[in-house]
Amino acid sequence: MLKIICFYFMFCSCKPTMSSVFNLCNPVFFANRYNNLNAKPHNARYKIHVTSSRRTELREQLTTELGEQRAVNTLVSQEDVINDDKEVIVGTYGRTPLVLTSGKGCKLYDIDGKEYIDLTSGIAVNALGHGDPDWVRAVTDQANVLAHVSNIYYTVPQVNLARRLVASSFADRVFFSNSGTEANEAAIKFSRKFQRFSHPNKVDPPTEFISFTNSFHGRTIGSLALTSKEHYRTPFEPVMPGVTFLKYGDIEAVQELLSSGKIAAVFPRSTYWIVVYQIENRKRTGTTWSGEPSCVGTVFLIAEVRRSKLIRFSKPNRQGRHSKSIGAGNRKKGEEEDQRLRLRLCVTMIQGEGGIYGATKEFLKSLRSACDKAGSLLVFDEVQCGLGRTGYLWAHEAYDVTPDIMTLAKPLAGGLPIGATLVTERVNEAINNGDHGSTFAGGPLVCAAAIAVFDKVSDPSFLAEVTKKGDYLKNLLKKKLQGNKHVKEIRGFGLIVGIELDVAATPLVDACRESGLLILTAGKGDVVRLVPPLIISEQELDSSVEIIYKCLHVLDEKSSN
């Protein structure tokens, strides 16, 4: 009887009172508590597994460590959650059959209490890992004071975060949004507005974009139009028109094309850089976008830089400008262009989605020189590679090249939604009240979280540790894996590392998950992507590489089938 009473108070989360003791005899009360606890629709299949000694033990442990609300998760089976997800969530994600309920540092825990080393960081988001005490304190303190107000008012956290970003970069101003794709959308709009501002007397200023193959810039209509993979774009066509995709060629071919005045923008295949070209006096023989001038001129280009060696260089100054030339490709058929182009470049430093490819210093300096010569903007997409991931605060610092616009997102707020578009004063002068906006962007809660992340990640000693651990990881991978016949190449920069295989990477990812390690795929599915929290220890890296090494045998099994 005593055990029943103890379970009752644990299950009902209430203090022992006369009324609560009376409820022991009330079956209706128990039924209501059960339904409220699960908060499920009438057709859900959640069940409380009170007969499992493991779940009971785990719940008691988690209740002590995490609190009642999070401990409740352990009373639901993984199968129940997955089945209910299929009934109530729109099926846009190809999910892994894993239900995660908590995390600490570089470890994640599933609904059954199994531990995993996290080398995904929520896809390069959780730079400080899970549950960083300073981050939690910053979020909690701000939530207790003010979580959200409209952007028609000023808030201290937003200004303080913007001040930090400006002081540490080439930029003079910041526009906040909620994600990387929104940050790129802002870059698109600001680029077009800049061209109209710069050519006040032109009826048809440049508005077209060029992007390269293997590019990924987001899923909203503007950034989707710059994403090269057809299976992303085709179901939603027509997307934003005026985008030309080019294949990466040699520098000489790029120089020749630029000199002819037919290029628009460059986006190298590594950590993303957005390249925007502007074409003047362009005559189109085909149809035009309704409401847009027939002369289109801003272009995002994405170039492929394969197997390039990444070298460290000193931090550039704010006025850094460099020389040489850029990427090539074919123009759309059915169009005639005059010889004069204005170029706006948007580039990724290290291409994460494309397969962990790094740019070369010479290539990026060529882009900068080409943009300067054409009077165009250079935009760097550092959504994944920025903010310490490479061992530099900004990935482009390693190449001694500075942009006109830079986009940020993933790690900035440590897991809360934020995006940022950083611009020079020259670009800012073209932007007016009402040109862009966002309801939730730059709210005090998310900015407080971002300040906590930024203050840690921007510390020189922290960045030095990222570089050290990145070198340690790559050397360890080469030592353990390079002799395997399926491993073609190990490449990366800082703590964004790719393992290219000669077969699909999914079997290896699945085997590692079963062994307690979470990793990602990239590129065409033949690259293992490692983007661990920046706080990961060498011991955790040792354990991770050992798991990968022991799971390589599955590649032999799959390739023989």
- Cβ(9)–Cβ(33) under 8 Å? no
Q: What pLDDT shows up at residue 222?
A: 86
- Residue 527: which of 538, 519, 536 has the closest Cα? 519
Q: What is the pLDDT of residue 505?
A: 95
Candidates 541, 547, 534, 539; CA nearest to 122 is 534
Residue length, the chain?
561
Closest CA to 491 of 534, 527, 462, 532: 527
Amino acid 330: pLDDT: 36
Give residue 399's pLDDT: 87
**Helix (H) or strand (E) segment spanning residue 419:** strand 419-423
Predicted local distance difference test score (pLDDT) of residue 454: 99
Alpha helices, DSSP H, located in 75-200: 78-88, 121-124, 133-143, 156-167, 180-198
Closest CA to 125 of 446, 360, 543: 446
Helix axes 553-560, 538-551, angle to 10 degrees: 30
CA distance 31 to 489: 58
Structure confidence at residue 307 (pLDDT): 27
pLDDT of residue 66: 57
pLDDT in the model for residue 560: 63
Domains of the chain: 2-95 (no CATH), 117-125+461-560 (3.90.1150.10), 171-439 (3.40.640.10)
Q: What is the pLDDT of residue 209?
A: 73
pLDDT at 530: 97
Chunked in runs of 10, what are the mean pLDDT values of the chain (561 residues)? Answer: 49 49 48 44 39 58 59 72 94 93 98 97 97 98 98 98 98 98 94 88 78 79 84 88 64 48 41 31 30 28 29 33 32 34 43 48 78 80 93 93 94 98 96 95 98 98 98 97 94 94 96 98 90 98 98 84 59
